[in-house]
Structure 1
Amino acid sequence: MRYLIILLSFFCVVINAQESDTTTVNELKADIKLYKTFNTQKDTVFIDTSLTIQDEYKYNYLRKDNFGLFTFANEGYLFNQLDYSKKKQFVLPQFGFHAKHSTYLQNDDIYYYSVPTPLTDIYFKTVMRQGQSLDALISVNTKPNLNFTVAYKSIRSIGDYFNNLTSSGHFRFITNYNSLNKKYFLKANFVGQDIFNQENGGIIDLSQLDGTNTSFSQRERVDVYFTDASSKLKGNRYFLEQSYLFNKRNSLQIKHQTYYESKFYEFLQTTKSSRLGNSIFSNINDKTRFNVFYNKVALSFNTKNLGQINFFIDDYSFNQLYKIDQSDVSFNPSANYNLKRSINSVGGQYEFSAKKWNFNVLVQNAILNQPTSNYEATAKYDFSEDNFVKISAQQTSKLPDNIFVFMVSDYDNYNWDSPFKNEKISILSAETKNKWFEASLKFTNLNDHLYFFNTNINIDSLVVKPFQYNKSIQYLSLNLAKEIKYKNWALDNRITFQEVQQDDKILNLPYFILRNTLYYTNKVFKKAMLLQTGVTVNYFSEYYANDYMPVLGEFFVQNTTKVGNFPVLDFFVNARVQQCRIYLKAEHLNALFTKKVDYYNAPNYPFRDFHVRFGLEWNFFK
């Protein structure tokens, strides 16, 4: 709430201060292409108020196309990864608790703005039951070379099932500046995030969902494993990136990037559960803290004939701390319950453009006794702005994420100190986009792959432990997309094929995933409104979906229950009036006609029922 008050106060003060400065710009009716947003990777996007099928796909809490992700029953709770090719790969060791990071904003999720007049962006959408989701942003250039942006995203949804509340908040303060002589550039942001979930552990008796007992049509009556468990992921990050240009002739430049981030993950349970094993404590309170400080300094120069060359050195220092109860009989005062490490690396990057060719090569190696490395190479040929071919390769050797190495919990089964080898990942990919279709092909080879697995066969008892697979896994994916248009009608198609070669069922994925949308677009009410209506079908083939362990905030491999092989049918009606886009959707429409509920995200986690949801996106240009 305090972040929302800050945002509203900032809006009032800045708009009043800007009124005289923006009058001239408003009178000139600033071109929409002057409203721009970009991230640290220099990906620039123009603010777009049009209504396309892509806007329909991005109208969700993530605010991006989530094809390849399968959302759980409650909005903003969890996503199962259907398309492994889209999985984020981090070179440096991470905190862990990966499943809870699905809505967590990383550095590359933060965008900077440049606007000729104050910009306000509002997103609103209803949720499953009792709540709403909101994302509001205000961006102002107090000077042509100085921008301030304040944003707040939040959600609260009780959900259909008992003990499944989602309540999250993401505050962002963002600024970017460049000197008038174009020599000094700065980007900075602060992000504060608080992600809270009640954890019910899934459904105990799946027969309660078969429709034979009408009392369970009220989903809150369905029996769940945990009635008093919850988790919280909280993080604050301070980020700064700056550069100074010494010489314009050869673009000699020094660059500096730094950030400090503190996180904690907490699992609370009022009464211990026999499903999770033994504990000397009747009240479970697990808390893990993570502090990381990163610094990178680079020197680069750019010439017309040679391209841009960068040399850099960086330091990644972290400390992971665990809550220790000294009344625990297993507590060892002489043991080190903190995981602390500093990783230093050096590297170089080369970028070159010639006519329609673009090349990028990155080499990075750790120094001293930290065996990490990352090598990347990319070549791209642009036939035109929206017509290209791109090939890339990457080879990474990374230290295990911290949760695999060390864990402390009030539950006896979830304590370990496990040294693992580096994970080795090799990726070859190719993609193209042209007027006929979009396609991408990706081959990944995994060695010493880390994963979690339930060592107890009985689903009513979970003993999830980390393991390292000592054989290689080969993964191949093919993604195809094509939209067919005829007058006001269009059929948008996207399909992904996946093949995994492995001796054991470790990396389990659906063989294919598809999304087809048939829709109609036309202007109505004397062309005052643009109307878009249609039907979307999502489907993925049956496979052994990973299950979820709330104590760890992680998915784990299981080979007993398959999910999938069911369609999800959505009907939508969208409209645009000036800068306002209105959305109405009947989600999972076919759930009204199925006699037996047999659709699941993961074993014991049913997918959502039929819901009607609505909302809007609204841009204001002062």
Structure 2
Amino acid sequence: MIRPFIILLFFFGLPSLYSQVDSLPPLQKRKDSATVFGKKKKQAKKKGRAITIKDYLIISHDSDTTYVDTTLTIQKEYKYNFLRSDDFELMPFANLGQPYNKLGHNARSAYIYPRIGATAKHFNYMEAEDVQYYHVPTPMTELFFKTTLEQGQLLDALLTLNTSERFNLSVFHRGFRSLGKYQFEQAQSSNFVATANYRSKNGRYWARGHIAAQNLETEENGGIEDREQFESGAEEFTDRSRIDVQFSRANNTLANNRVLGKRYFLDHQYKLLGAKKDSLNPKSSLSFGHTFSYETKFYQFLQDGQSGVFGSEPFVVPIDDKASLKTMFNQVSGTFSNKTLGTISANVRLFNYDYFFRSILIDDEGRIDNRLHGEELNFGGSYKNTLGGFSLSGDFSLNVSGKLSGNVINGRAAYQINENNRVYAAIHASSRMPNFNLLLYQSNYRNFNWQNTTSFEKQEIKGVTFGWDSKFLGSLTASYDAIDNYTYFRSEANAEDIANGLERALVKPAQNNQTINYLKVRYSKEFKWRRWALMNTVMYQEVSQDMNVLNLPQLVTRNTLYFSKDVFKKAMFLQTGVTFKYFTSYTMDAYHPLLGEFYVQEREEFGGYPMLDFFINAKVRQTRIYLKAEHLNTVWGSEYNYYAAPDYPYRDFVIRFGLVWNFFS
């Protein structure tokens, strides 16, 4: 999978490598990401100025625009991981590409429609909202590389260019493979995204779209079979490949699961008033837009033979469970913008879905259908305005027809007190149906067949958020959510079933009919003294509930002490330090490999152990180099109690390195 892609990268990246010698003289300022990159570009001559890094634009799904940032900061260190985002509220498994357990909870889903489910397998899946578009004066290439865990590499590559001033193309690919330290936990993926971004000469029409093809595969070993082998610290088991696992070749239960998806997306808009050359009403604009998305996806679980942990007497062996989903989304919108009144938009959305399996199940307990299909019609709108130091925004979506979609109302207000202080507040109210796999599921294992389309209600959330960003005092965010009809997976096993190893065989969807009150407070502050800095992030959580269905650690903290300095006559910028992360023990959710989901367990608490990482990062021109010793404290530790989920240990000490490299032609 990776070898052909590296060949393509060679041909794509070679022109950039060759041209960088002449086009990128030494940087004038290390900390200023707006450094001049070249003075002989044709575009620069036309505009009468040099091209800077601020001309290389990144456009989000919501049309927020930023520019490429080649600086080296502690936030870049936090994001240099498999997800390429800050994973403070997540607990990774031992191998890359495996699930992440939750240390925090985000109840306010941005999606008003159910999704296919298998949420533990979607961390590496790029949704339409994750795709970025570009506008660059010259071709740009970005390479992301990082070593994995045994026999594999992680490589992201992006190539983007403007064929003209108004038309941009980009190609992104992630090739990944990691064998892992334990038996039968190999993970690999391929994420391909191609985008296009166009704006007409008169500024009246713009369009952007992408094509995405993604394939995520993971071997499932079911977790370790005997915890004593891991926890004893016996020398023979320090080689983790010797530890026995639940699913193996020896008992003919090798298993793997897979998520495959393809998506076609188009968003375009035509402006009737307010174009660049429109002199009728330059202070106002009126535009109409259309958004289209078509996506096919399936989740599949395969197993060579029968495993007793999922129950006895499956319908068919070998196991081949496959849930498929086809969706088509159309939105027609109108937007009016005025300098005084702000931006007002209204939209109508039509969502068609087809969620299906390959058979209809009829047994003594009744009939379980193989399909949920229909269409949902929604009406919505949004508002945005800035008045002096105040900024206001809000949006809503209301269900007009259909059984599965919900209603969402969001409101947000912010006030810029001065250049150093900003406060904001937000409200949220929503109702939506649970994901499709909670409503309907079929499996060759008898215990994993259900239909809850009539018995489950819409999950309802009401919440408020307050925040304060201060340059001197740090960033503080507090949120409160009241959650009704919380839907989740839990095991119905009793003590005898658990003793017989049947806890996972009796996992079913459940819905809590009591209100859950969830409070989350998060604070971040960095202290600096000369070349030293201490970055602190602390999160406190409190969950009030009659049943323990939303289980989270009460305290999560991450503290990084690091040193920064220019070295080699300022040819290199160096950062080195240690990161300490800790969360209090709690009844951590367990992982279910057949469903690709986490489920609630109340028997055991995990956590309460530190994770210490040592890193050395450097920046040379536009290249950021990363070296990290992960979970360093296990070198001298004597307690092997660090789990990411029941029966799934976290990784041991490992040294990994990599880089992020930008080329500007």
TM range (shorter): over 0.9
- Structure 1 counterpart of 2:127: 106
* Deviation string, structure 1 residues 433-457 (Cα, Å, up to 9, x no partner): 1212011111111001101001114
CA contact (8 A) 1:426 1:445 kept: yes
Tell me how far apart the structure 2 counterparts of residues 53 and 390 of structure 1 sit (CA, whole Å): 25
CA contact (8 A) 1:15 1:118 kept: no
1:368 to 380, 389, 401: 401
* Deviation string, structure 1 residues 255-288 (Cα, Å, up to 9, x no partner): 1111011101110000110110121322101111
- Structure 2 counterpart of 1:229: 255
Tell me how far apart the structure 2 counterparts of residues 43 and 439 of structure 1 sit (CA, whole Å): 23
TM-score computed with the length of structure 2 as normaliser: 0.89
* Deviation string, structure 1 residues 389-420 (Cα, Å, up to 9, x no partner): 22111100112211111000000000001131
Q: Is 1:542 matched up with 2:585?
A: yes
Q: Give the superposition deviation at 1:556.
A: 0.3
Q: Which amino acid aligns with 2:326?
A: N
Q: Give the superposition deviation at 1:339.
A: 1.1
CA contact (8 A) 2:41 2:51 kept: no
CA contact (8 A) 1:85 1:442 kept: no
1:426 to 425, 440, 462: 462
CA contact (8 A) 1:14 1:140 kept: no
Tell me how far apart the structure 2 counterparts of residues 129 and 537 of structure 1 sit (CA, whole Å): 25
Distance change >3 Å, CA 265–CA 347, structure 1 → 2: same
Q: Give the superposition deviation at 1:296.
A: 0.5
Tell me how far apart the structure 2 counterparts of residues 528 and 8 of structure 1 sit (CA, whole Å): 27
- Structure 2 counterpart of 1:151: 172
- Structure 1 counterpart of 2:441: 407
- Structure 1 counterpart of 2:345: 310
- Structure 2 counterpart of 1:245: 271
2:425 to 391, 412, 421: 391
Tell me how far apart the structure 2 counterparts of residues 333 and 166 of structure 1 sit (CA, whole Å): 38
Q: Give the superposition deviation at 1:183.
A: 0.8
- Structure 1 counterpart of 2:326: 291
- Structure 2 counterpart of 1:609: 652
- Structure 2 counterpart of 1:347: 380
- Structure 1 counterpart of 2:30: none
Q: Give the superposition deviation at 1:332.
A: 12
Q: Which runs of 5+ in 2 are unaligned?
A: 24-39, 249-253, 275-280
Q: Which amino acid aligns with 2:639?
A: K
CA contact (8 A) 1:393 1:427 kept: yes
Distance change >3 Å, CA 9–CA 293, structure 1 → 2: farther
- Aligned residue for 1:414, secondary structure, equals coil
CA contact (8 A) 2:492 2:508 kept: yes
Q: Give the superposition deviation at 1:305.
A: 2.3
Q: Give the superposition deviation at 1:329.
A: 7.6
Q: Is 1:618 matched up with 2:655?
A: no
Q: Give the superposition deviation at 1:14.
A: 10
Q: Give the superposition deviation at 1:341.
A: 2.2
- Structure 2 counterpart of 1:124: 145
* Deviation string, structure 1 residues 2-38 (Cα, Å, up to 9, x no partner): 7666666666799999x99x94247865111111102
Q: Which amino acid aligns with 1:444?
A: D
- Structure 2 counterpart of 1:270: 304
Q: How does 1:195-594 map to 2 (within 5 A)?
A: 195-227=216-248, 228-248=254-274, 249=281, 250-278=284-312, 279-324=314-359, 330=363, 336-370=369-403, 372-383=406-417, 387-419=421-453, 420-436=456-472, 437-457=474-494, 458=498, 460-461=501-502, 462=504, 463-594=506-637
- Aligned residue for 1:413, secondary structure, equals coil
Aligned length: 620
Tell me how far apart the structure 2 counterparts of residues 594 and 15 of structure 1 sit (CA, whole Å): 45
TM-score computed with the length of structure 1 as normaliser: 0.95
Q: Give the superposition deviation at 1:88.
A: 4.4
CA contact (8 A) 1:193 1:235 kept: yes
Tell me how far apart the structure 1 counterparts of residues 304 and 598 of structure 2 sit (CA, whole Å): 23
Tell me how far apart the structure 2 counterparts of residues 105 and 609 of structure 1 sit (CA, whole Å): 29
* Deviation string, structure 1 residues 230-273 (Cα, Å, up to 9, x no partner): 00001111111110000112311001111011101110000110
Tell me how far apart the structure 2 counterparts of residues 365 and 513 of structure 1 sit (CA, whole Å): 36
Q: Which amino acid aligns with 1:582?
A: I
- Aligned residue for 2:237, secondary structure, equals helix
Distance change >3 Å, CA 13–CA 260, structure 1 → 2: farther
Q: Which runs of 5+ in 1 are unaligned?
A: none
Distance change >3 Å, CA 359–CA 87, structure 1 → 2: closer
Tell me how far apart the structure 1 counterparts of residues 401 and 293 of structure 2 sit (CA, whole Å): 23
